[in-house]
Amino acid sequence: MDVLILQPPIVQLNTAYPSGAYLSAFFKQTEFSDVVESVKWLDLSIELFYEIFSPSGLLRLFDLCEKKALKMADEAQKRGDEATAFNLRRYVGEKKNWISWIETITSILRGDKSGFENAHRFVFGAHVPRGSRMENFLESLDHDLTTDDARALASFALADLADFITAVFDKNFSLVRYAEALTVSESTFEQVEKGADSPILEEFFDSVLKRALKNYLSKKDEGQKSKTLVLISVPFAGTFAAALYAGRFIKNNFFGDAYVCFGGGFINTELRETKEKNLSKYCDALCYDRGYASYKNLLNQFKASGDFDVREPVYKLRKFSSLGTVEPCEAESEVLLYEKKQTASIIPDFSDIDFGRYPRLIDDKNPMHRLWSDGSWIKIYMAHGCYWHKCSFCDVTLDYVCGYCPTNVKRLYDEILRQCEEKNVYGIHFVDEAMPPALMIDFARENIAHGSPLTWWGNVRFEKVFTRDVADFLAAGGLIGVSAGLESATGNGLSAIHKGTDLESIVGACCAFKEAGILVHAYMIYGYWWETPQDLINSMETLRQFYANGLLDSSFWHKFVLTRHSRVYKDWQEGLVSDLKPLAEKNIPLFAKNGLHFEGEKKSEKYGRFLDYSLNQWMHGEDLEKPAQKWFDFPVPKPNVGHDFIAKLIAKYESKRDSEFKKPFSPEKKIWLGGEKFLLNGGKKIGWFYMGEYFELPANAPESAFRGKGLCVI
């Protein structure tokens, strides 16, 4: 039997989504060698990218939509929309330039040498295609244009082409997540599956599948009857349409010799209870959560009978067939132990991925924001699940949050370093719900012991455990950035969402990270069931003060969504939350079943664009002193947060830090991170450098005087 792991488009352009790496490693274990002949992971996301953004792809694109674009331009002009008419005609008029330049654009984004050599002409040439986003970028530059701007300009070139595709060919196309709006909770399956017949999938993705699966299809044509287990990862709603297309393609072309399973984040959260019988046209089963024990059970079935029994229940696997739906079975204790052991021990296998093919986009000059799209990060986890898993808004009843399971950090480090050296990629993005601080310290210690070859970042919880000592040590061990949930920047808000921390601890953690040179991102949420306009404005004002005091590099506002698997919904069911009032569900057969509506949720919608705009300004150092209430074009209350609220918490942190530095400590816990010390004034003084600064102390100064200046106590 062959195992084929597919990642449908489009997830993230600069790197591979990690689920395929974990599944590859799982199936390559020796315990399956007697039944699994081969394991192959295909990232169809990057394949579709090059199917479109290549000379042949753009030629086909313009052939398919050129006439429509010109017709739309004429209609726009009749409406008096000269800008749209001009832009559409410019795309068509410069199609030869786009086609001839697209390989240079993608090579610049990959960092190829040939791309760099052509950067001069791309930046300064008069015969280079231009779009609105490219022109806006050039107009907004605050410095003389140089070839250093080539990658940013190339990023906006792709965005311009994506705008053209969305406008005239496929309205659901996106460079990040395909067809995001097609699988919302308000949709029936009949509406959802229409997305599987959309233009990009039919005209471009179909060719990707035929080419990617050529070897498997040729085996079938030659009469070789080996079974193929096909696993399709669906991490987000926006990848589901492509997953449906891929599943249908495989079931129609493998002539019954493939068993197709869908899994991933979207399946786990939205389709846990689905009874949709028409899914059988696209897949044979839905696999929930980690999948290790489920697939082991499935392989045991195959080993026993030479096929997959459509009637026999499997742990966390919902089966679909002409005979009906088979529900998942309950797990015995040894199954649960097996699942946990695999989760803790599996080291992801990236051997099938060529990281050199992935473009690295610069869509924002903010250094923290850029981490998500720039850099060929290898994505792994330190620990599965969240060690806190108590926040009200979070899906705490689901395994990906509540199934906390740490890894063996030393073994993880050794194996990942080996793969980094093989792939010549030395950046790690930890995709944990929240990296455990103790494991972060262990990882940093391993990295320091190896000369700190790895650079890494990921999610944390803002907690008091992140002291200046810890932050300094993590930075020395390769940590460059952290993202964490602030969610509600008010004391009563943090209590209401059961965040398990307070603003004093959050400010202290941010201070420590920033002093250590670590970038900091905060996730924000508005529109809670309990939130008043005063609460929101207070949260906004406190966030402004975080930026004004240099504690944050970037943030993002999310609108609160009530979900079926959240803690607050569970609490409401148990009568513990009286101010939440979920609305009755619509009496139609909805497909996705996680999102819920509640009374008053639309009241906060009007704030969204003002929150986003003000935050964008703050992230780029603009309008930091503008009063929070002045950003809106409708009346809002003034914040009743003190103007120096965060400044006072910073002073409190500094006082505690300095007091902690003076306390005695065990000699075995001290670590010197500073530069080489040298004697001055005939040995009366000691000088050294740390974090780019020069320090000087009397030779007889107590050790505590060196704290925060190179001496770290862990």
DSSP 137-160: HHHH-SS---GGGHHHHHHHHHHH
Cα(311)–Cα(314) distance, integer angstroms: 9
How far apart are alpha carbons 48 and 376 in whole angstroms?
Answer: 18
So what's the pLDDT on residue 285? 96
pLDDT in tens, 23-58: 999 999 999 999 999 999 999 999 999 999 999 999
CB 53 within 8 A of CB 106: yes
Q: Are 504 and 652 in contact (CB under 8 A)?
A: yes
Whether the per-residue pLDDT at 669 is higher than 90: the answer is yes
Ramachandran class of 424: left when φ > 0, alpha when ψ lies in -120 to 50, beta otherwise: left
Domains and CATH numbers, the chain: 2-46+179-345 (no CATH), 51-168 (no CATH), 364-566+605-651 (3.20.20.70), 662-713 (no CATH)
Using alpha carbons, list the distances in angstroms from residue 465 to 195, 388, 461, 498, 508: 47, 14, 10, 18, 9
When pLDDT is averaged across residues 518-537 and rounded to a whole number, the result is: 97
Give the pair of three-digit tokens for residue 395: 């899906």
Mean pLDDT of the chain: 94
pLDDT for residue 222 is more than 90:
no
Read off the DSSP letter of residue 629.
G
> What pLDDT shows up at residue 551?
98
Which band of pLDDT confidence, cut at 50, 70 and 90, is reported for residue 182? very low
Nearest to 583 by CA among 560, 611, 562, 556: 562
What is the mean predicted confidence (pLDDT) over 68-89?
Answer: 97
- Under a CB-based contact definition with an 8 Å cutoff, are residues 447 and 419 in contact? no
Distances (CA, A) of 391 to 414, 459, 553: 34, 15, 24
d(CA 24, CA 353): 11
Greater pLDDT, 90 or 219? 90
Per-residue model confidence (pLDDT) at position 113: 79
Cβ-based neighbour number of residue 658 at 10 Å? 12
- 68-72, 92-96, 117-121: lowest mean pLDDT where? 117-121
> 17-26, 303-312, 407-416: lowest mean pLDDT where?
303-312
CA distances from 283 to 214, 231, 245, 246, 279 (A): 20, 10, 10, 9, 6
**pTM of the complete model beyond 0.85:** yes
**Mean pLDDT for the stretch of residues 572-585:** 93
Place of tokens 């990942």: 416
Q: How far apart are CA 14 and CA 1, in angstroms?
A: 32
Percent of the chain with pLDDT over 90: 87
Q: Is the pLDDT of residue 10 over 90?
A: no
How do residues 458-475 score in pLDDT, each as one tens digit? 999 999 999 999 999 999
Of the pLDDT bands very low, low, confident and very high (cuts 50, 70, 90), residue 593 is confident
Cβ–Cβ under 8 Å, residues 432 and 484: no
| pLDDT at position 258 over 60 | yes
pLDDT class for 221, splitting at 50, 70, 90? low
What's the whole-number mean pLDDT along residues 338-357?
97
Tell me what the mean pLDDT of segment 662-677 comes to: 95
Q: Over 60: is that where the pLDDT of 181 sits?
A: no
Q: Which amino acid is at 278?
A: N
Cα of first residue to Cα of last residue in the chain, in angstroms, is 50
pLDDT tens digits for range 424-438: 999 999 999 999 999
Which tokens belong to 117?
């050599």
pLDDT at 480 over 60: yes
* Rounded Cα distance, 474 and 86, in Å: 52
Torsion of CA 190, 191, 192, 196, to 10 degrees: 90
* CB-CB contact of 646 with 507 (8 Å): yes
* Tens of pLDDT, residues 166-179: 999 999 898 876 55
Lookup result for tokens 């086909």: 60
**Residue pair 640/541 in contact by the 8 Å Cβ criterion:** no
Lowest-confidence range among 396-410, 587-601, 659-673, 692-706?
587-601
Q: How many helices (H) and strands (E) does the chain have?
A: 27, 22
- The identity of residue 20, as a single letter, is G
Q: Please check whether residue 310 is in contact with residue 280, taking contact to mean a CB–CB distance below 8 angstroms.
A: no
Residues 370-398 pLDDT 10s? 999 999 999 999 999 999 999 999 999 99
The answer to whether the bond into 646 is cis (omega within 30° of 0) is: no
Bridge partners of 481?
457, 519
Q: Which amino acid is at 62?
A: F
For residues 572-593, give the mean pLDDT. 87
Q: Tokens for 3?
A: 């195992």
- Give me Rg for the CA atoms of the chain: 27
Where are the strands (E) in 431-570, listed by range?
A: 455-460, 479-487, 519-526, 554-559, 562-563
Residue 606 has pLDDT above 70, yes or no: yes
